[in-house]
A and B are shown apart, each in its own frame.
Chain A
Amino acid sequence: MDTVSHAVHYIFLAAAACFVMGLHLMNHPRTARRGNTLSAGAMAVAIAATAWLILGENVISTTGWLVLTSGGVLGAALGLWAAREIRMTAMPQLVSLFNAVGGGAAALIAVGDLLQTGHPAALGARVSLPGALDIVIGAVTFSGSLIAAGKLQGVVSGAPVVFPGARLLNVLLPASFVVGTVWLVLAPDSRVALYGLVAVALLFGVTMVLPIGGADMPVVISLLNAFTGSAVAMAGFVLDETALIIAGMLVSASGGILTKLMADAMNRSIANIVIGGFGTGDSTPAATGSGAPAQVRSISADDVAIQLAYASKVIFVPGYGLAAAQAQHELGDLAKVLTDHGIDVSYAVHPVAGRMPGHMNVLLAEANVPYTQLKEMDDVNPEFPQADVALVIGANDVTNPIARRPGNAISGMPILDVDQAKSVIVIKRSMGHGYAGVDNELYTDPKTGMFFADAKKGLSELKAAVGEFVG
């Protein structure tokens, strides 16, 4: 290694340290933004250092420079545009898209590196094995993330797509990864093995994600995030760059932890989710224990407003229905009226509320809800007995008390103890089922009032009505 190369690698090490510190600063909303800026700055320096290294080596052709800068500018412009324009409700699609391009880039690097080696004999398993793994993981992530983004955006059906032979295919394709990887290690110059591996990995990404239902996407996105990280780390092995290994594995650890948290919050194993076919959407008729439909109590906006206005502690329970109705701003406005009136308001956010880990918090933050009011499940559950009113908006399964009893689809799933509140109000359009297709016992609880309305309209009405009472 020459002097420039040495210097550049010390810069890479410093950048890697900054990535770790940046992620560390993410442990509090107060410092998180600084952490991201630190990480971005380190990345910019690392990219500049790479350009310096390339200049120093002086092997790049003019066309190479042209390719490098034009590709970079195009990508940066697209990324910037997407990041600026995206709606917060569409964040999961964007993260999924960034997973796709990250994994895709990692796979392309391995393909490019294996193609460039003129003397196959010089290419030992030291490069070809991580190369093959990089191609498999990267390509699976690329096509899988695109399908996941498509499902979230509604371009691809959100319902689990299961076709005859899908299960068999999902066993055969991974088996062919093993064959392809061994082949590529034994014959690194085999183009058939190289392109074959790319093709089956791309196909598997599609067949893996298609059978997974839309509401399981928080797990899928986290898992694909972990995959991308691993693919980037493998690219690090191929190129001999520790910076890629460190950054890749940091991401992989993050994705892995979030995947586990999400699966735990649904009380399902990661394998069960990935195998798919759970939940067909929203229309599954559920078999209830008792035959006759239990009675629900319907209440009006004015009744709800009186309860809210005379409460001293109110807990909001937002679910994805709130985001789907774009009603988070109305909820934030209602909360503001109550807070100004001296009422203690907080939000109980279930880990799987939304379409990716922590999604609901971002949507509420966008509606100017201070993060001090956002409470995690374990912190807020002991507070429900003291709450005068629990207002449920667009959340269903995560509030269902039957999860505490064995023998049903959501048994054992951690839930918000909404039924412990002194009074419960549910804003809902109709008596439809949740994702799991089971009846919600909370709705038939004698202390629950059902306010049948569209979330956005209902919350505006409530705000107006409460405004009159607290005037």
Chain B
Amino acid sequence: MNNLDLLTAITVFVLSVLVGIEVISKVPATLHTPLMSGSNSVHGIVVIGAMLIAAESHTWLGYVLAFAAMAFGAMNVVGGYVVTDRMLEMFKAKPPPEKNQSPEKNQSAEKNQKAGV
């Protein structure tokens, strides 16, 4: 059944941790929130697993599980990337030009108010 050898899987597992530690230690504290939200969207890859489970389901219970897994996974992946992008867009080296700054800000403030989350 298994086309992936256990040793290979564990090798991938160990090397991934090491690569992760190496890459992530270099991220400055300024970006830790977008980093966490960005890595959050990376684990949205679980949606692929959900798709594979949905493909193999043939029972009522299997369909329910696959539906929930799909919804969870898709929410994770779409929401994660969109919110990370929204955050990173705000990081600017220079403040935006004075002229059209105020109306823009009022607009976003209004939007925030409306959302009320």
Contacts and interface: CB of A to CB of B under 8 A. Distances in A.
Contacts of A452: none
B34 to A, nearest CB: 6
Contacts of B31: 26-27, 29, 32, 358, 361
B72 A351 contact: no
Interface residues of B, dominant DSSP = helix
Interface of A: 1, 15, 19-20, 22-24, 26-30, 32-33, 35-37, 39-40, 43, 46-47, 50-51, 54, 57, 59-61, 63-64, 67-68, 70-76, 78-80, 82-88, 90-91, 93-95, 98-99, 101-102, 104-106, 108-109, 111-113, 115-116, 122, 126-127, 221-222, 225, 228-229, 232-233, 235-258, 261, 329, 336, 349, 351, 354, 356-359, 361-362, 365-366, 368-372, 374, 376-377
B26 to A, nearest CB: 4
Contact of B91 (A32, A37, A222): A32
Interface residues of B, number: 93
Contact of B45 (A78, A82, A243, A377): A243
A91 B72 CA distance: 18
Interface residues of A, dominant DSSP = helix
A359 B33 contact: yes
Contacts of B40: 95, 98-99, 102, 225, 228, 251
Nearest to A229: B43
Contact of A252 (B17, B45, B57, B93): B17
Contacts of B20: 23, 249-254
A86 B39 contact: no
A242 B4 contact: yes
User: Most chain-A CB neighbours within 10 Å: which of B3, B23, B66?
Assistant: B23
User: Most chain-A CB neighbours within 10 Å: which of B66, B67, B74, B93?
Assistant: B74
Given A83-B78, A232-B46, A247-B42, A20 B95 contact: no
A111 B69 CA distance: 10
B96 interface: yes
Interface string B79-113: 11111111111111111100001000100010010
B9 A59 contact: no
A79 B82 contact: yes
A258 B38 CA distance: 13
A248 B79 contact: no
B19 A250 contact: yes
Contacts of B27: 23, 26-27
A255 B36 contact: yes
A54 B55 contact: yes
A76 B74 CA distance: 5
Contacts of A39: 38, 41-42, 81
